[in-house]
Copies of this chain bind each other. A is one copy, B any other.
Amino acid sequence: MPAAAIAAVTAAAFQALVREAVPMTRILRPEVERLEDGFVRIRAPFDPDFLRPGGTVSGPVLMALADITMYGLVMSRAGAVELAVTTHLNMAFLRRPAAAAVVAEGRLLRMGRRLAFGDVLLYSEGVADPVAQASVTYAMPSEA
């Protein structure tokens, strides 16, 4: 798929929707840096409340960011289907993330009629090696 294929929603529309519709993730103040058909990059600016003992970003921050990144991947292909829901999220925590902004890059692996699969890598801003990897699946709303 071409890297810059036109997405079914704009980055701005998706960012407004996710900030408005999913209150729990408002704490991330997500900035949708790029949203193309099948590719999404979202940045969560650093907040001291991200931290856990040891001074690293806590797991729930990374998981929430991975989840909304997959939400964006679904919408990039299918449009603003708000009622798509997560069915599975698997995260491997690779390295302790620094006290910094977190950047998530998601790629759509498959958009089926019932299930959408994606892969998300998460980074501490400015560091090349990922801090976490997530495999996320959404169920598409039933027709009818």
A contacts with B, residue count (CB < 8 A): 48
This chain's copy number in the assembly = 4
The answer, yes or no, to whether A33 is at the interface (CB within 8 Å) is no
Main secondary structure of the interface of A (DSSP, over half): mixed
A96 surroundings in chain B (CB, below 8 A)? 85
Asked whether A53 and B93 contact (CB < 8 A) given A67-B59, A67-B60, A109-B130, the answer is: no
Q: Which residue of the partner chain, among B24, B51, B83, B90, contacts A60 with CB atoms under 8 Å?
A: B24
Give the B-binding residues of A (Cβ under 8 A).
21-27, 48-54, 56, 58-61, 63-64, 67, 82-83, 85-96, 109-110, 114-115, 117, 119, 129-130, 133, 135, 137, 139
